[in-house]
Structure 1
Amino acid sequence: MRKSYFRKLACMAMLLTILLAYQNYTSRGKESFPDVKFIMASSGVNRSDFDPNTLDETQWQKLGFSEKQVSTILKYKEIVGGQFISKQQLKKCYAISEEKFAELKPYILLPEDDGKEKFLSRRFEKKTITIPGKFNPDRFLANDWIKMGFSERQAAALLKYKNYLGGSFISKEKFKECFIISPENYARLEPYLQLPEKVSGTIAASHAKSSNIRYRPFDPNTLNADGWKALGFSEKQATTIINYRDRNLRGSFKTPEDLQKCFVISPEKFEELKPYITITIKEEIRRQETDFSKTDLNTISFKQLLEFGLDERSAASIIGFRRKLGGFVNKQQILDTYNIDKDLVQKLISICFLDTSGVQKYTLTDAPEEWLKNHPYFKYSADKIIFYRITYPDDKKIWKFLKLKPEYEEKMRLYIK
């Protein structure tokens, strides 16, 4: 046993010796693995000296950013004012990770955080205006406002506002209402404005005289844009008045007070115009084309409603509602119509009569399904009516099962035999 044990040990030692010799033999001549050194890929941008404000899309991509990241960086650049002012500002762009920023930071030609406060204060600094002395803003042109310190856009807005007022700011109060004039700037300008404090009838009259307006009797229903401009209105105001007449009043002012309702005509201006307003009897003659006392509300036409004075919207609503109902049963239904001038319609129904003989009526058991589903008063209960009348062909029982609110049932019964 001892001999056998020593033989096994000897065999194992020889095997290990052979393995070690083989390993030394096979590893001979191999070089050791060198240290890994990462080298930055060459690009069109000198990493040791680049300004992020001068890079285009291609150069940002060569720095290792995707198209989407580049787009985000360029948008961020526009948001901060068109250029990066510091490394810290660039770092805030969420498209640039912490690791990527740390890699690029030594090569960025921007201060760490210097100039940020100065830049922001310069960017948000309020422009100061220079007042040459007392002046009349009505005589200022765009260049005069720009020289005072306003931008070109602000100067254009001031002139547009003056034209909107009729070619003059009229008063300090009106001048202050211009949204371009901040409270701070108005406080500085106010002592130098050669304008009256507030608008009054006397001031408006003097303004009219200064504009060389000569009032003569005129008919507002026949006046064109040039005619309104001759009365002292701007082109925009003249267009507004004509549109108000043609669209809202269906082509004519009925009374001088209708003219006063147009929002571009101030109370002071209306008082000036009022003595010269002469509305012809054309409207009265036109109304005589239809004798409304002999007109049935269930047959009155769209054109006749316009002739009476209703606008297109009101007339269309009445005709449409009447068609859906199959005819009016009482005059109150007309007043329930949406989008109408109720005062004018009240006057209409007090003049016209209502003939209900042509209105189709049914019982709940024999009413056509299509009629039930389309009628404004029945359509919400149509399915229940159709269901109940299959089992109970009796109107009284159907009314009982419907369990409607009294006001709804009252309307529905208008069209029931």
Structure 2
Amino acid sequence: MGKTNTMKPKLPFEIRKKQFYALSLLGIFIVIFQLSYLVYKGKQETKFPEIHFTNSNEPQLFLTEFDPNQLNEKQWENLGFTAKQVKTILKYKEIVGGNFTSKEQLKKCYSISEEKFAELEPYILLPEDNSKNSKKNFTKFEHKELQIKGKFNPDLYSQKDWENLGFSEKQAAAIIKYKQYLGGSFVSKEKFKECFIISPENYQKLSPFLLLPEKTPENFERKYQNIASEKPKIQYFEFDPNSLDTNGWQKLGFSEKQASVIVNYRERNLKGSFKSLEDIKKCFVISEEKFNELKPYIKLNLIQKASENTAQNIPEKAKPTTDFSKIDLNKITFQQLIEFGFDEKSAASFIGFRNKLGGFMKSSHVLETYNIDKNLAEKLINISPLNNMNVQKFSLLDAPEDWLKNHPYFRYYANKIIYYRISFPKESTIFEKMKAKPEDEAKMRLYLK
């Protein structure tokens, strides 16, 4: 019996020993698995796909002031983001506390590229950063309460009506543009809601008062295409093609780019003037159909005959010799440049470049003329004086958009200037933001007040 009693405790101990080893191995295996999973998950979360924005197929955006905290998914997509990017932006918004508190914070969202942020920044209703001074200056972006008097048809509202309703001037203008983009009508409450500057909160207030169908008609796409394809009616007027600038040609139905081509064709190829109707017809951006529409309004014959008679009545020997030491570089004519020794191509380039600048501010600018004889140009600027008192100047804050986009020294920075001057009232800040090359900035400042 003694032997039997001494053998009994050993059996449970061996079993417990094996159980302990098995549980230890299982625990080690679980820990290793968890660590491996965490490492794998971390790698997956930190390797974000690189996002690029392309401009080739982006829809036209009607940008105006907006609060990014009030935008829903559809409105973010209307700003040019993909559905995937929008989800990331909204998730980031939750991570930072449910609201963006500054532009600086929004900029850190990796789904918004630097290029896209620069495009949107002037319109974002947020302070620059979280500093106290920035928040004090942000008071101008406070939203007005909508003043809704009763039911209304938004298709009949003018820009002033939208302003009276409580929207800012820029927001009201954008709403009108959006209506035009749709073809002249909001069509339905669904389409009205898609206007990205109308926040969900404001839509909820407006919706009961909108005299619009709830749903968009099924044939809306077809109607929109028909409306978009209609040509605007043009009010033609009598004009002299030799005195018409780019704005004048645009009033006759040409695009900004086509108008520039016509003016360049006249200044460079035809030495500053159309000599006949045939010259106008040969310009490749003027179709035969368009030329026939313009022909009854062109007043060129009298000018042409007068110039021919003047040329015929002045004998070659009787033509005076020009004293170039008294001829202002900003007033020298095509014929005088020919007399000085320039060929026709160089003379036309000289006149064309001077017209685009609005006049030379420095004699050295003459040397930047395309296709000019540099040696002859240096000789001219050493002889002829320059009077720049009558050269038109603007400030960056009030310069017309057409002037900025067509001026040789401003056109490469025009879009940035137009964006930044909305939010920044000082020229020094605008120059700082657009990061122009020092030599470009020096040239631009010559044409600023």
Do both proteins adopt the same fold according to a TM-score greater than 0.5, normalized to the shorter chain?
Answer: no
**Length-normalised TM-score, structure 2:** 0.29
Q: Which has the higher Rg, Structure 1 or Structure 2?
A: 1
Higher relative contact order (CA 8 A, sep 6+): 2
TM-score, normalised with respect to structure 1 = 0.31
